[in-house]
């Protein structure tokens, strides 16, 4: 395998983008990424486009070809990647493998979702397809309900409190204040979270990531030629993926996501690193309990210890381990097809030292962790500044 680097990234503002459709969001992020990489559309050899439910949201399938068309890539291979909320991370992994194998030199990976053109109920139904339709959704469970079951079990087994879960949201909103692309740039308090409307006990509105529109794009190239295009390439040290049962009832435990544990262990091995080597991490906080479990499953804390650590400020911006500096899914937004690539965008921005007021001093190694559904898919990438 060749060493692989990210040489360009682009992002749109996340949120309720009523003024733009999917095409415009794709083009906006893509143009930024190509300019950042110092390339033109003629340099690109293949594109991987990720979206979870564009057919349900806007009636548009065949999204990879549309992405290729909008960015002026003529007649090159274009492949759609769908892996629920882990679609973006999965597309990044496919791009990594395409470059690492030697098959292609310049690869574009893009993720997009336009979610606000339908009602909340319709969006909830579309997102529910990331779970087990026959044994979960058809029986009346929702995704907040699935994660609520995880939260209740975590509280039962480890004494995790609702206030500790609320601290996750408070931290991520605070980080989002200084992210110009974030959906919610407003500080909130523990009490704000506790007073928000109950969605599925114990999860409240402010424990849940929002419905969002947005797009993210990254450009990959072999590390050996990366500086031909960009002075600050970011090397992908490891790309790992694992899966688990689609339905929650078949899992070994409700307080862990086994796919995350397996993908993380493989990523650490490939990167020749341990959790102590990671300085910044973007984890998949679709719900506050998801961040708590991720911090444990990724090996940063023992099982049952992460909630208190987060509430105590151990993962705040500028700490030994800075978590979700972008604002995460909760503060920055969660257009599901774009999220995994947005996470990479944030890590690249931090490792370049270009994150402005949310910059982590001395950031050298970062991780992106993307989850599909209630944990049936997990993708982990470890990156560092290229030597």
Catalytic residue numbers? 85, 334
Tokens of 341: 């690539």
Q: What's the rounded Cα separation, in Å, for the pair 149 and 140?
A: 14
């Amino acid at each position: 395998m060749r060493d692989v680097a990210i040489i360009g990234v682009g992002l749109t503002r996340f949120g309720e983008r009523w003024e733009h459709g999917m095409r415009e969001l794709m083009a906006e992020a893509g143009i930024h990424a190509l300019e950042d990489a110092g390339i033109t559309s003629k340099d690109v050899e293949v594109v991987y486009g990720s979206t979870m439910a564009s057919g349900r949201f806007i009636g548009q399938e065949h999204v990879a070809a549309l992405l290729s068309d909008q960015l002026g890539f003529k007649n090159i291979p274009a492949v759609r990647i769908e892996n629920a909320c882990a679609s973006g991370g999965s597309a990044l992994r496919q791009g990594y493998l395409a470059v690492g194998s030697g098959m292609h030199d310049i690869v574009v990976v893009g993720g997009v979702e336009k979610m606000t053109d339908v009602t909340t109920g319709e969006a909830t139904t579309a997102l529910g397809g990331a779970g087990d339709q026959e044994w979960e959704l058809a029986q009346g469970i929702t995704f907040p309900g699935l994660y609520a079951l995880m939260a209740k079990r975590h509280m039962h087994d480890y004494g995790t409190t609702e206030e500790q879960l609320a601290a996750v949201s408070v931290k991520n909103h605070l980080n989002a204040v200084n992210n110009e692309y974030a959906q919610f740039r407003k500080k909130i308090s523990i009490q704000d979270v506790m007073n928000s409307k109950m969605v599925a006990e114990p999860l409240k509105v402010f424990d849940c990531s929002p419905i969002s529109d947005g797009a993210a794009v990254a450009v990959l190239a072999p590390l050996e030629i990366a500086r031909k295009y960009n002075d600050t390439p970011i090397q992908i040290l490891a790309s790992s993926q694992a899966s688990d049962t689609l339905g929650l009832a078949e899992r070994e435990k409700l307080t862990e996501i086994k796919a995350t544990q397996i993908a993380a262990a493989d990523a650490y091995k490939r990167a020749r690193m341990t959790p102590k080597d990671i300085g910044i991490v973007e984890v998949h906080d679709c719900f506050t309990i998801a961040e708590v479990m991720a911090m444990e499953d990724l090996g940063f804390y023992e099982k049952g210890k992460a909630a208190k650590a987060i509430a105590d400020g151990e993962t705040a911006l500028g700490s030994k381990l800075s978590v979700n500096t972008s604002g995460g899914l909760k503060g920055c937004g969660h257009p599901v097809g774009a999220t995994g690539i947005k996470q990479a965008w944030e890590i690249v921005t931090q490792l370049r030292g270009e994150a402005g007021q949310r910059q982590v001093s001395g950031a050298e190694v970062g991780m992106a962790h993307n989850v599909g559904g209630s944990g049936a898919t997990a993708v982990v990438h470890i990156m560092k500044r290229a030597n």
